[in-house]
């Protein structure tokens, strides 16, 4: 009983684990689309995020003195999760993550293999193929995928350490389009499930957590808010609120009213 009470009143005890790494924050944020690195760093702080996604790109050899991400967000304090954004084949994604590992020794990575530029929808055949190769090479892939419970199981079999279905297309801000499939993925998974992509505002993040997801990953919802730092804080609160509501267990749904005040003793 004591333990239950601690869980319900103290959010900081409610940590989660992926591939042996333990985290308190269930909000992972991206580092793209911000006005500048300072704003990005402030948003990460306001979000309370312990993991940030980063992309791997060619250095600018004509202007090597430009500020770099690592000068603002310290990879010794915040876990860098290298992604494969922009990769449309398994080979490109694998090559990108091999380089990412060399750039900093990361095994925990975010795999995404995209199917087309218009929707940025995942190509699951290529994604599963890349996941198998990466897992064999010792990587711990957290995998962006369709909200398909069967594909999610196949990814787990392929060595995914986390399943990260889209709530809606990347950067769309449309919110979670199919709560049924997200919930089916959560129920079927034996690894953490995080909604990745599609969140537009705080209530969307709360919905993801209320469905039982272990976390939420977002970038544009924060970066393109009018006040990104305030939105980062809102997302932190929403993820925590949604998680607590999930643990608390919501009431049942009724078709008609049920009074909260007693009927007995009415004058």
Partner 1 sequence: MTTPISLTINGEPRRTSATTIAALVRELGLKPEKVAVEHNGEIAPRSTLEQVRLADGDQLEIVHFVGGG
Residues with catalytic function: 110
Instruction: Single out the segment in contact with partner 1 by CB under 8 A; choices: 65-73, 124-132, 147-155, 240-248.
Output: 65-73
13 versus 67: smaller Cβ distance to partner 1: 67
Annotate each residue in 200-239 with x if it binds partner 1 (CB under 8 A) or - if it does not, as one string.
------------------xxx-------------------
Minimum Å gap between C-beta 74 and partner 1 is 12
Across 149-178, b (16+ Cβ under 10 Å) vs e yields bebbbbbbebbbbbbbbbbbebbbbebbee
Q: Which of 42, 70, 237, 245 is in the footprint of partner 1 by CB under 8 A?
A: 70
CA distances from 216 to 60, 62, 219 (A): 32, 37, 10
Instruction: Single out the segment in contact with partner 1 by CB under 8 A; choices: 80-88, 123-131, 151-159, 228-236.
Output: 80-88
- Dig out the tokens for 79 from the structure: 């876990």
Does residue number 195 form part of the binding site for partner 1 (CB under 8 A)? Answer: no
Q: At what angle do helices 149-157 and 179-188 cross, to 10 degrees?
A: 30
Minimum Å gap between C-beta 54 and partner 1 is 4
59 versus 263: smaller Cβ distance to partner 1: 59
184 versus 202: smaller Cβ distance to partner 1: 202
CA distances from 22 to 26, 51, 259 (A): 11, 11, 44
46 versus 184: smaller Cβ distance to partner 1: 46
Q: β-strand 16-18 against 21-23: which pairing, if any?
A: antiparallel
40 versus 146: smaller Cβ distance to partner 1: 40
Q: Which of 23, 26, 27, 34 is in the footprint of partner 1 by CB under 8 A?
A: 34
Does residue number 56 form part of the binding site for partner 1 (CB under 8 A)? Answer: yes
Is 143 in a helix, a strand, or coil?
A: strand
CA distances from 73 to 51, 93, 202, 205, 221 (A): 11, 24, 24, 24, 19
Does residue number 127 form part of the binding site for partner 1 (CB under 8 A)? Answer: no
From the list 237, 181, 169, the residue with the least C-alpha distance to 213 is 181
Integer Cα distance of 5 and 89 in angstroms: 48
- Which residue shows structure tokens 């989660």? 16
Does residue number 69 form part of the binding site for partner 1 (CB under 8 A)? Answer: yes
Q: Which of 14, 16, 19, 37 is in the footprint of partner 1 by CB under 8 A?
A: 37
Residues lying near partner 1 in the complex (CB under 8 A) are found at: 30-34, 37, 40, 53-59, 61, 64-65, 68-70, 80, 82-83, 85, 95, 98-104, 170-171, 218-220
């Amino acid at each position: 009983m004591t333990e239950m009470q601690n869980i319900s009143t103290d959010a900081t005890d409610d940590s989660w684990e992926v591939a042996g790494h333990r985290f308190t924050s269930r909000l992972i944020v991206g580092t793209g689309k911000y006005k500048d690195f300072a704003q990005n760093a402030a948003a990460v702080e306001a979000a309370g995020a312990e993991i940030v996604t980063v992309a791997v790109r060619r250095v600018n050899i004509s202007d090597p003195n430009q500020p770099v991400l690592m000068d603002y967000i310290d990879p010794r304090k915040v876990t860098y999760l290298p992604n494969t954004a922009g990769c449309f084949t398994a080979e490109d994604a694998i090559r990108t993550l091999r380089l990412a590992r060399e750039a900093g020794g990361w095994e925990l990575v975010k795999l995404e293999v995209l199917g087309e530029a218009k929707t940025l929808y995942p190509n699951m055949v290529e994604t599963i193929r890349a996941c198998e190769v990466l897992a064999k090479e010792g990587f711990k892939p957290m995998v962006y995928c369709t909200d398909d419970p069967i594909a999610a199981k196949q990814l787990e079999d392929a060595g995914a350490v986390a399943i990260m279905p889209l709530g809606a297309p990347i950067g769309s801000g449309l919110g979670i389009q199919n709560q049924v499939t997200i919930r089916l993925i959560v129920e079927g998974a034996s690894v953490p499930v995080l909604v990745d992509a599609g969140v537009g505002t705080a209530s969307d993040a709360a919905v993801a957590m209320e469905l039982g997801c272990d976390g939420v990953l977002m970038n544009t919802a924060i970066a393109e808010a009018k006040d990104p730092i305030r939105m980062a804080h809102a997302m932190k609160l929403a993820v925590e609120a949604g998680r607590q509501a999930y643990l608390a267990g919501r009431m049942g749904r009724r078709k008609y009213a049920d009074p909260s005040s007693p009927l007995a003793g009415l004058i």
